[in-house]
């Protein structure tokens, strides 16, 4: 069931109770949990936060902590699964779910007692009606059997047996038709995976209603929303609508904090920004080269693309020496005119969408950060799993990087993000030059030949896949290229023969809805391939190397 009054139906219920908070490994979830931590500390509430990476992690986290708690909050995990069936909790355990994944499991939606989902029914999600999904035929069967037995005694066996058989045939036909309709409804409802509102935004609104909101909490909500934009989880129109709401909070909190000193005050601004990754902490040249939007539009992996970017810099009046040095070290006049210059030439160089509205943060007189800077840095920290860095360690470091007291962690994350973006560009350039993106007919696919720590985690592989597909479409001579989805596979452990696999929708699709979750599930069943569908993002899976060829063949047959 849904709850909209989070203050009374969620937060006030938890006061004085012990809470288990299970958090998915994504930036929006980390920002949401950071907001929640702040609220819990205000009210001295007892809680445990457990980060998880998949369905098995969710089961393990609950099993290890279930003896101590009766209230569980799931952040960006669980809403797409039948939680009661999966975890088998005691009847007095209550699950609160704040999850942006869609579509939601219908058993969670129509649960009256144990499952409480933050938000409300959205008509655009097309949730089937309760009557179309659930029916209870047992009592009707018993009543009909009693009626039939009584009538048999009263009117004789022979004539009523025929009536009874006919009624049963009709009833079975109705049941079969109902089941077919239910199957069709469920297929239409679950065939695509996509995302709803940012969980960080939802929990910020709770803080606002509790009168516990602040500039820091608002910034974390902004980072959560921006992650959805950067990772292309939502349409740009949804981002614009949410940004409008956020601006009113920025104005309100700015007026509220106007008595603070300039040096210590947090300032948030909404302003025109550029789809150039980390350019404030990099050089303009490197940012243009390694940002997906500019690299794909200008084809910067080619000699012709290199020539075009030099032409762009000349027309902007930006000397190459200035463009290749740190942005903060550029000539002040050139830096101040940079936005206007690139915006003025954007149409000529077919980069008209390079300008967008973004939020920036400034602590006193120190460096300015955009929300996208935080997203790239936090992703780099979160995905920097090594032998000496466990997933839990990376999660906690990513959580810490959001606080202004830990600027050194954020700065280190920005440097890691630069290395990651350089690695993405290098793989894309090599794949295109060596014609390694192949067509299987109904989809494109690319298999990375060697292990790469940057792409052995979902966020990194997702960024690579989207960069690669857009780059391929920009240089392909085939008119159908923009209509084809892409599957990218990267070895996670070559010794064990395990690959991480992701499927992304075609470039021409306006909506970020993804159909690969259902396709992977069906292809795995049809081919008997060893595929692990453990991720909350259903378009991501792990597969055995020995099964990869037959799985892709099965997927080709399925999608043809």
pLDDT > 60? residue 149:
no
**Plot region of 435 (φ>0 → left; ψ -120 to 50 → alpha; else → beta):** left
Q: Which of 156-160, 180-184, 341-345, 486-490 reaches the highest mean pLDDT?
A: 486-490
**Torsion angle of C-alpha atoms 145, 150, 154, 157, degrees rounded to 10:** 30
Residue 368 confidence class, pLDDT cut points 50, 70, 90: confident
**Bridging pattern class, strands 444-447 and 486-493:** parallel
Q: Do residues 83 and 58 lie in contact, with contact meaning Cβ atoms separated by under 8 Å?
A: no
148 φ/ψ angles, rounded to the nearest 5 degrees:
-65, -40
Task: Kindly state the percentage of the chain with pLDDT values over 90.
Answer: 77
What is the per-residue pLDDT for 118? 96
The encoded tokens of residue 240 equal 């614009």
Mean pLDDT of the 357-381 span = 90
pLDDT > 70? residue 150:
no
Q: Which residue has the tokens 């966020």?
A: 459
Q: pLDDT digits over 61-88, tens only?
A: 999 999 889 999 999 999 999 999 999 9
| 3-class state of residue 25 by DSSP | coil
CA distance 366 to 92: 50
User: Where are the domains positioned within the chain?
Assistant: 135-190, 260-434, 435-559
Mean pLDDT of the 413-442 span = 96
What is the per-residue pLDDT for 139? 44
Q: pLDDT digits over 309-322, tens only?
A: 999 999 999 999 99
**Mean pLDDT score of the chain:** 91
488 φ/ψ angles, rounded to the nearest 5 degrees:
-120, 135
Mean pLDDT of the 489-518 span = 92
What is the per-residue pLDDT for 166? 82
What is the per-residue pLDDT for 138? 47
Count CB neighbours of 138 within 10 A: 8
pLDDT > 70? residue 258:
no
CA distance 489 to 501: 4
What global pTM score does this model have? Answer: 0.92
Mean pLDDT of the 303-307 span = 94
Q: Do residues 537 and 497 lie in contact, with contact meaning Cβ atoms separated by under 8 Å?
A: no
Q: pLDDT digits over 436-456, tens only?
A: 999 999 999 999 988 898 999
Q: Do residues 11 and 61 lie in contact, with contact meaning Cβ atoms separated by under 8 Å?
A: no
Count CB neighbours of 96 within 10 A: 23
Q: Which residue has the tokens 């190397």?
A: 545
Find the length of the chain.
560
Task: Kindly state the percentage of the chain with pLDDT values over 70.
Answer: 94
Mean pLDDT of the 37-60 span = 94
Bridge partners, 490 (sequence order): 500
What is the per-residue pLDDT for 262? 46
480 φ/ψ angles, rounded to the nearest 5 degrees:
-85, -5
Q: Do residues 270 and 243 lie in contact, with contact meaning Cβ atoms separated by under 8 Å?
A: yes
Q: Do residues 14 and 42 lie in contact, with contact meaning Cβ atoms separated by under 8 Å?
A: no
pLDDT > 70? residue 40:
yes
H helix intervals, 327-370: 332-345
The encoded tokens of residue 149 equal 């037995």
Q: pLDDT digits over 204-222, tens only?
A: 999 999 999 999 999 999 9
Question: First CA to last CA across the chain, in angstroms?
Answer: 39
Which H or E run includes 359?
strand 355-363
CA distance 299 to 377: 25
What is the per-residue pLDDT for 404? 86
What is the per-residue pLDDT for 560? 86
CA distance 291 to 421: 8
CA distance 553 to 560: 11
**Residue ranges with strand state E in 79-181:** 94-98, 101-102, 115-118
125 φ/ψ angles, rounded to the nearest 5 degrees:
-80, -15
Residue 284 confidence class, pLDDT cut points 50, 70, 90: very high
Q: What is the CA radius of gyration of the chain?
A: 27
Domain covering 435-559 in this structure, CATH number: 3.10.310
Mean pLDDT of the 535-551 span = 95
Mean pLDDT of the 156-162 span = 67
Q: Do residues 454 and 278 lie in contact, with contact meaning Cβ atoms separated by under 8 Å?
A: no
396 φ/ψ angles, rounded to the nearest 5 degrees:
-65, -35
């Amino acid at each position: 069931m849904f709850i909209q009054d989070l203050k009374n139906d969620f937060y006030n219920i938890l006061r004085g109770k012990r809470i288990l908070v299970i958090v998915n490994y994504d930036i929006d979830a980390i920002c949401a949990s950071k907001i929640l931590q702040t609220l819990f500390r205000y009210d001295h509430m007892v809680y445990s936060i457990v980060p998880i990476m998949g369905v098995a992690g969710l089961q393990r986290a609950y099993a290890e902590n279930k003896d101590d708690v009766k209230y569980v909050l799931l952040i960006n995990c669980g809403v797409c699964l039948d939680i009661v069936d999966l975890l088998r909790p005691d009847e007095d355990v209550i699950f609160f779910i704040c999850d942006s994944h869609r579509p939601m499991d219908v058993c969670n939606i129509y649960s009256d007692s144990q499952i409480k989902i933050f938000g409300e029914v959205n008509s655009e999600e097309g949730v089937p009606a309760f009557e179309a999904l659930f029916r209870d035929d047992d009592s009707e069967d018993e009543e009909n059997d009693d009626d039939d037995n009584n009538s048999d005694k009263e009117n004789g066996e022979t004539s009523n047996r025929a009536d009874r058989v006919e009624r049963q045939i009709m009833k079975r036909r109705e049941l079969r038709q109902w089941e077919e309709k239910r199957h069709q409804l469920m297929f239409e409802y679950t065939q695509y995976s996509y995302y709803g509102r940012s969980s960080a935004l939802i929990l910020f609104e709770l803080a606002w209603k509790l009168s516990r909101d602040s500039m820091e909490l608002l910034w974390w909500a902004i980072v959560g929303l921006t992650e959805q934009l950067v990772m292309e989880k939502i349409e740009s129109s949804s981002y614009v609508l949410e940004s409008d709401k956020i601006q009113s909070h920025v104005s309100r909190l700015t007026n509220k904090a106007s008595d603070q000193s300039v040096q210590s005050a947090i300032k948030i601004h909404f302003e025109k920004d550029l789809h150039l990754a980390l350019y404030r902490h990099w050089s303009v040249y490197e940012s243009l080269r390694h940002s997906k939007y500019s690299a794909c539009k200008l084809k910067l992996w080619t000699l012709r693309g290199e020539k075009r970017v030099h032409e762009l810099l000349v027309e902007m009046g930006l000397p190459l020496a200035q463009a290749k040095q740190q942005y903060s070290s550029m000539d002040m006049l050139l830096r101040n005119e940079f936005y206007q210059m690139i915006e003025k030439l954007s149409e000529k160089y077919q980069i008209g969408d390079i300008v967008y509205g973004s939020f920036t943060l400034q602590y006193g007189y120190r460096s300015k950060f955009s929300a996208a800077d935080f997203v790239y840095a936090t992703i780099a920290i979160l995905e920097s799993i090594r032998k000496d860095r466990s997933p839990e360690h990376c999660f906690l470091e990513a959580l810490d990087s959001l606080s202004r007291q830990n600027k050194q962690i954020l700065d280190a994350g920005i440097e890691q993000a630069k290395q990651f973006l350089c690695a993405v560009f290098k793989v894309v350039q090599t794949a295109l030059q060596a014609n390694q993106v192949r067509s299987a007919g109904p989809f494109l696919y690319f298999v990375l030949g060697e292990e790469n720590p940057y792409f052995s985690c979902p966020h990194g592989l997702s960024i690579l896949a989207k960069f690669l597909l857009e780059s391929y479409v920009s240089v392909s001579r085939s008119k159908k290229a923009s209509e084809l989805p892409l599957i990218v596979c990267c070895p996670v452990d070559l010794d064990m023969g395990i690959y991480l696999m992701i499927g992304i929708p075609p470039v021409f699709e306006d909506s970020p809805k993804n159909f690969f979750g259902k396709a992977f599930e069906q292809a795995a069943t049809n081919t008997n391939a060893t595929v692990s569908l453990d991720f909350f993002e259903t378009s991501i899976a792990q597969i055995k190397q020995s099964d990869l060829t037959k799985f892709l063949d099965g997927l080709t047959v399925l999608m043809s």
